[in-house]
Copies of this chain bind each other. A is one copy, B any other.
Amino acid sequence: MTAPTPNTPHDPQERLALLEAELAPQLPPGAMTADADILQTYSADRAIQCEAEGAAVLVRAASTEDVQAVMRFASAHGIPVVPQGARTGISGGANAVAGCILLSVEKMAEVLGVNTAERTVTVQPGIINQQLKDHLRPYGLSYPPDPGSVNISSIGGNIATNAGGLCCVKYGVTKDYVRQLKVVLADGSLATLGPRTAKGVAGLDLRGLFIGSEGTLGIVVEATLRLVPLLAEPLTAVATFPDEATAGTCVAEFMARGAQPSMLELLDRTTLSMLNDYGDFGLDEQAGAMLLMQSDGSGDPATAQREVEAFAEVAESVGALDVAASDDPADSEALVATRRLAHPAYEKYTAAHGASELMEDVCLPRSRMPEFFARLAQLREESGIVIAVVAHAGDGNLHPAIFYARDDAEQERRAHAAFEELMQLGLDLGGTITGEHGVGSLKARWLAKELDPVNQRLHLAVKQAIDPQGILNPGKMLSHLGG
C-alpha cells in the first residue's frame, strides 16, 4: 500500500542517511536512533509469532511537535510509520515493517490537568494506565478500564486498541471513557476530535473512529478522559464446576437474571494448575473450571450481598462443586491478584517446557459459551494440544491459550490449526475474532473473514480518505481487506 515518492531511497543505508540529514535536525538531540540493539528492542510488541523486521530508525517523540515533524517528513517521502505506546500489545500492532520509522510516544507521559467538577483528566498518551489510576485516587476519581496489562500498558495504546479488561462487564471499555482526542494525521496536521463536554453531537464521531484504529489513521497525542467516583469495595464469590461448559451455563443464567457483577472471570483446570505451579495458591485443580465473581453493589453492600447470594444460588442450581463467598477485602484482592497472574503463570510454563503460546481472544454471545467449551473439550482430545482458558466470562470474552513445544513443528502446526479453528468457532457462534486484543498483524487475515464485503470496502474507503498514501501502520489491521 505504501508508495515511496520517486526520490525516496529503498536502500537501507541511503534511507538512513536521508533520515539523519533531514528528519533528525527537526527533532531534539538524541530523539532519533538507528542503534541496532535499541531497534531490535523496539521492533516488536509481545506477539512473538508476528514478523517485526527492517525498521530504519526509532524516534522517541517528546512533544506533539516532534510527532508532527515525523509525519510531515514521512508523508513527504512516502515512508511508513509504526506508532508505538508501551509495546505491550499481543497482536503485533506495534511491530516494525520494512524501512519504517518506529514512532514511540512513551516519553509523552504527563498528566496535563484534572477537572473535578467535570470529572475529566487530560493526559499525554504515554502515561501508564495504573499510574493514571494512582494519580486520580487522591481526587476521589477513578478511570475504570483495566486491561490485564494495566500495570504496563499506556493510555495511548489502550485508546489505539480500545482496550477492555476485567471491569468491562459492568463498567465498559476504553471507548466509553474518551471525551476528546488530539491526533496527528498522516500529513502531520493536528486535529481536535470531539468536545470535552459530557454530551455533544456536532459532526461525525471521528473521535470514536480513531479509538481502536490501531495506529492506522493517526497518532493520539492528547486525550481527555471521563472519570467516575472511586468504585466501591466489592464482595467476592468463588464457585467451582465439573467442567467449563457448566461454568458457562452458570454465567449465562446469572446474567439473564439481571445481575450486574463488577467482575465475572473464568479459569479452567489447566490455568488453576499452572497458577498453583506458579505461586502455590492451593487452587482446586480437581475442578474443571472456577468462576470468580465480584459485585460492588454500585456502592451498596446489601445489593452486593444479594448479588453474591444470587450467584451462589444459580451456581448450585446448575451443578457447582463448591461455592464460597468472602467479605474480607484482603481475601478478595488476593483472589483477583491470583487471577491477574494467569499470564505470568503461562509464561513460567512455557519457559519450563520449551513451549510457545498462542493467545486467543474471541468474544461470543454469553449464552453460546457452553457450545464453545464443548467443542474446545473435543478439540483438546483430538489434537492432544494443551489449551488453558481464562475468560472475561461475563462478557463472553474468552482467552484460550494454546501451547506447543517450540522444537516440534508438527505440534506447532496443530496448535496453529487449533487457534484458527477456535476463531472460526467464535464466528460460527455469532461472535468476533477479537474482543479486546486487537487485530494487528496476527489476525489481519481473519478480519477479512469477519467483516462482510461491503463493510470491508467501507473500511478501505475510510482508510484511503484519511491516510491516502497508506503510510500509517501498513501491513497490519487493514492489510487483508478486499471487499
Chain A interface residues (CB < 8 Å from chain B): 115-119, 140-141, 161-162, 164, 168-169, 172-173, 175-176, 185, 189-193, 195-206, 208-209, 211-213, 216-217, 229-230, 252-253, 255-256, 258, 260, 297-300, 302-303, 363-367, 392, 394-397, 430-439, 443, 447, 450-452, 454-455, 457-459, 461-466, 477-478
Contact = CB atoms under 8 A, between A and B. Distances in A.
A394 to B, nearest CB: 8
B206 A458 contact: yes
Contacts of A461: 465-466
Name the residue among A117, A190, A202, A208 with the largest chain B CB count within 10 angstroms. A202
Contacts of A185: 454, 458
A65 to B, nearest CB: 15
A351 to B, nearest CB: 29
Given A196-B430, A204-B213, A432-B200, A191 B117 contact: no
Contacts of A363: 195, 197-200
A128 to B, nearest CB: 20
8 tightest CB-CB pairs across the interface, nearest first?
A298-B298, A300-B300, A229-B258, A208-B208, A465-B465, A117-B367, A461-B465, A195-B432
Nearest to A191: B454
Contacts of A206: 209, 455, 458-459, 462
Contact of A298 (B199, B201, B303, B454): B303
A154 B449 CA distance: 33
Given A192-B455, A300-B298, A466-B461, A396 B211 contact: no
B438 A201 contact: yes
Contact of A200 (B192, B195, B435): B435
Contacts of A213: 204-205
Contacts of A172: 176
A189 B119 contact: no
Name the residue among A205, A392, A450, A459 with the largest chain B CB count within 10 angstroms. A205
Contacts of A200: 363, 432, 434-435
B211 A452 contact: no
Nearest to A433: B202
Contacts of A433: 202
A397 to B, nearest CB: 5
Contact of A117 (B164, B169, B365): B365
Contact of A366 (B118, B364, B392, B454): B118
Contacts of A217: 204
Nearest to A302: B300
Given A201-B435, A365-B197, A462 B466 contact: yes
Contacts of A140: 258
A450 B303 contact: no
